[in-house]
Structure formats: structure tokens, C-alpha cells
Amino acid sequence: MTLRGFESLQEELRRLKNVERPQIVDAIATARALGDLSENAEYHAAKDRQGLVEARISILEDKISKSSVVDVSKIVADTVKFGATVEIEDHDSGVVTKFQIVGSDEANIKAGLLPITSPIAKALIGKREKDDIEVSTPSGTRGYTILRLEYI
């Protein structure tokens, strides 16, 4: 994963441990003070939230411990690899799209972060600027030209 993606996971983990977890503990304590737990909706909601947060903490700790972090700014290459920022033009529509190829955990299409497992990313890997690629989509094959490639 990229350094930015790794730092994002670490920040989420810090927030869950240092903000969410203490808030849930307080909510459970407050709900317990109300008495009968069998019909205490606040208590049950807080316990459910606690389970979700603890599960997410476990997932994040596992991902962080197993991550291989790539500092994209240190990559020098003239072909598309993991971490590349690529600008492509659709042959049919002429629409130009720019995105960075990232790991699945940090992918966000709206933010221009394309997962390396996507068909477009797979077709781009190993290609150079000005190369044409074809990508199979549910609506048929689409053609693209790589306009720009950079590692930033």
C-alpha cells in the first residue's frame, strides 16, 4: 500500500482506540446506571457499537501489521507500476481521467484512487506513455491512450 494509505489506516486505528472506545465505555457505564439491563436499549446499542468498533480495530491492526508500504515518490520508472498516477483518454468519448493505482484497502474511485485489482489498472501495468490499452467492461471493450505517467 502507499504511504498515504498506511497513514490513513493508522489514523483510523488511533481514532477508534482513543476516541470511539472511551466514548463507548462511558455510554455503557451510563446505561448500566439506569438499572434493568434486559430492557435497556441504550445499553444494548452501546454494546453492539462496542462489538463493531472492536472488530474494526482487530481488522486494522491485522492489516497494518501485514502491510508492505511503498514510498511512491522514490519510484523512478517509465512504465506503469503500483503507485503510478496515470492520465488516460477514452478513445470513444475523449474524456480524460486521472487516477493513482493503489492497494484495495485505500481505493476510492471518487478521490481518484484506483485499486490495482481493477480491470483498467491490470491493463495499464507495464505500459508506457502514449501506449493504447483495451479493457473489457460489461458494456463492451473500451480503448484508452495513456497520456501521462508520473510517480508523485
Residue-wise pLDDT tens digits, 61-119: 999 999 889 888 888 889 999 999 999 999 999 999 999 999 988 999 999 999 999 99
pLDDT tens figures, 37-66: 777 888 889 999 999 999 999 999 999 999
What CA–CA distance (Å, rounded) separates 138 from 19?
A: 43
CATH topology assigned to domain 72-150? Chitinase A; domain 3 (3.10.50)
Residue ranges per domain, the chain? 3-66, 72-150
Is it true that domain 3-66 has CATH number 1.10.287.180? yes
- Looking at residue 40, what is its pLDDT? 80
Mean pLDDT of the chain: 92
In 3D, which of 65, 113, 60 has the Cα closest to residue 86?
Answer: 113
In 3D, which of 105, 103, 13, 7 has the Cα closest to residue 57?
Answer: 13
